[in-house]
Structure 1
Amino acid sequence: MEILGSEFFQRALAGGLLIGITAPLIGFFLVLRRLSMIGDALSHVSIAGVALGFLTGLYPMAAGLLFAIAASFAIEKLRKAYKSYAELSIAIIMSGGVGLASILFTLDRGFSVSIDSYLFGSIYTLSASDLTTIAVVTAVILIVIRSQIKELFLLTFDEDAAAVSGLPVRFYNVMISVLTALVISVSIKIVGALLVSALLTIPAACGLLVGRSFRQSIVWVVVIGEFAVIAGLIVAGVWNLAPGGTIVMLLIAFLLLMLAVKRGMKTSG
């Protein structure tokens, strides 16, 4: 248990607590809008940015952030072009991200070990600058959602009604995509690009099972996300497991438990 008092673990815990709020929160809106796969698309594009950052000497997280934001704008553009096939835009961007990342990987083998930390997560290697970036993104997410909660509610459940009421739908769609890009770009070093989608979607799936209202579901989503991150980090630290994978497996176990409990309540009722 000595690891709990280590400075690197405390930084990891702080970063995890911040991501445990923002990722499930943004993921909740994505799931309700049937855009849950956008996390996979932006995370793959972000990895391409990280690779470019290592090649050029840029701060990898910043490079990944810029790539993810650019991809979010591209997704919105393609969604307008394929209105009846909105998911196609996500598939196109994801394919482009994977293709670009694979090319960048082959240009220089020297950064392969560092890239692995972004693919699978390496929360124990969070630096002070990483933690500052995560904190800034968290503050931005919370301020925007707190100030725009009514507009986001209307947009999420009835986009046509939101447009008729005069809400700038295009602006809010882009805003949500950019916020998602921000969250993903700072999350990949914690749970990894290959697992970040789980942190976006599984807490939302759990929250929808137990929440009886929109606001109540939001609370549950954050609580479940925080619980999984804290418990996952402690379990991974004590038993020397992969932190990102442990967090995701705890989320899945929690979802299965909630499904079983809900089914049992229906059966007994």
Structure 2
Amino acid sequence: MWIFSFDFMQRALIAGMITAVLAATLGVFIVLRRLSLVGDSLAHASLAGVAGGMLLGFYPFYGALLAAAGAALIIEFIRRAFPRYAEVALAVVMSGGMALAVIMISLKKVFNADLFSYLFGSLVAVSPRDVAVIAGAGIFILISVTLLHRELFAITFDEEAARLAGIPVTAVSIYFTLLTALTVALAVRVVGTLLVSALMVIPPAVSLQVARSFKETFVIAILAALISVTCGLYASFIFDLAPGGTIVLIAAGLLVAVMVGKGVIKKWM
């Protein structure tokens, strides 16, 4: 793949592969907990942070991170207030984040290429600084998930049983949501705020169609995400397409192919 000889493509590939691993890993827990829209909600909130950063003149990633982290805490607070209607929290944060983003963009009175790259992702927008931040934060997230994998496993399948077993369910849930917020903030540079949640949902969905164990679910989800990102970056460069949309479209194609293949196999067995 000669296109990855370019410096900007190498940065995009590194950032994209780290993002793929993080999104797929956290996405498995998110999908199994039936919180697939949490990434979408946090992404909308992070857009408000990006717009705020551009408006006030600081690094937009920091704005995205602060906004996503704040949104994560709000989601957990509302979920506790409405235990039977968890989707209310996601709807409130999603609509509120988008409304705030629109207001800040209107105050800036400009829709520039940099903001467009945060909406849909960009190949040339990934700077060495972005790669360093994504790599450092990615290591932190993976270490956190590794150390908490038993607690996350217990909470994912039965919160009440986990609570009875002495696991601090509320604290672990809040921390996991903050990790998700950090992952969303990292991913917006490559995939874009409007499509980042798809990278957290579709690869795990692919995996759940074929995996036969919990560990295998992670492996297949990560492989699906890596294939989607690598092929998506390649296709977006060759055909001059938005990388975020291309990555998600390939991931969706993988899901359809797996579902069709699974159906065909069942039909002939």
Normalised to the residue count of structure 2, the TM-score between the two structures is 0.97
> In the alignment, what sits opposite 1:4?
4
Percent of matched pairs sharing the same residue: 42
> In the alignment, what sits opposite 2:46?
46
> In the alignment, what sits opposite 1:219?
219
> In the alignment, what sits opposite 2:168?
168
- CA shift, 1:67, in A, is 0.6
> In the alignment, what sits opposite 1:78?
78
Cα separation, 1, equivalents of 2:7 and 2:55? 29
CA contact (8 A) 2:46 2:64 kept: yes
CA contact (8 A) 1:105 1:112 kept: no
> In the alignment, what sits opposite 2:209?
209
Decide whether aligned partners of structure 1 residues 2 and 213 sit closer, same or farther in structure 2, where only a CA change above 3 A counts.
closer
Aligned residues between the structures: 269
Cα separation, 1, equivalents of 2:128 and 2:5? 17
Of Structure 1 and Structure 2, the greater helix share is in: 1
Cα separation, 2, equivalents of 1:201 and 1:41? 13
Q: Which structure 2 segments of 5+ residues have no match?
A: none
Aligned-CA RMSD value: 1.1
The one-letter code of the counterpart of 2:75 is I
> In the alignment, what sits opposite 1:104?
104
Cα separation, 2, equivalents of 1:263 and 1:117? 38
More displaced stretch, 145-154 vs 32-41:
145-154
Normalised to the residue count of structure 1, the TM-score between the two structures is 0.97
The one-letter code of the counterpart of 1:29 is F
CA contact (8 A) 1:72 1:178 kept: yes
- CA shift, 1:238, in A, is 2.0
Cα separation, 2, equivalents of 1:123 and 1:239? 13
> In the alignment, what sits opposite 1:57?
57
> In the alignment, what sits opposite 2:180?
180
In the TM superposition, structure 1's runs of 4+ consecutive aligned residues that sit over 6 Å from their partners are: none
Q: Which structure 1 segments of 5+ residues have no match?
A: none
The one-letter code of the counterpart of 1:194 is L
Cα separation, 2, equivalents of 1:253 and 1:149? 30
Q: 1:112-261, aligned counterparts within 5 Å?
A: 112-261=112-261
Decide whether aligned partners of structure 1 residues 2 and 219 sit closer, same or farther in structure 2, where only a CA change above 3 A counts.
closer
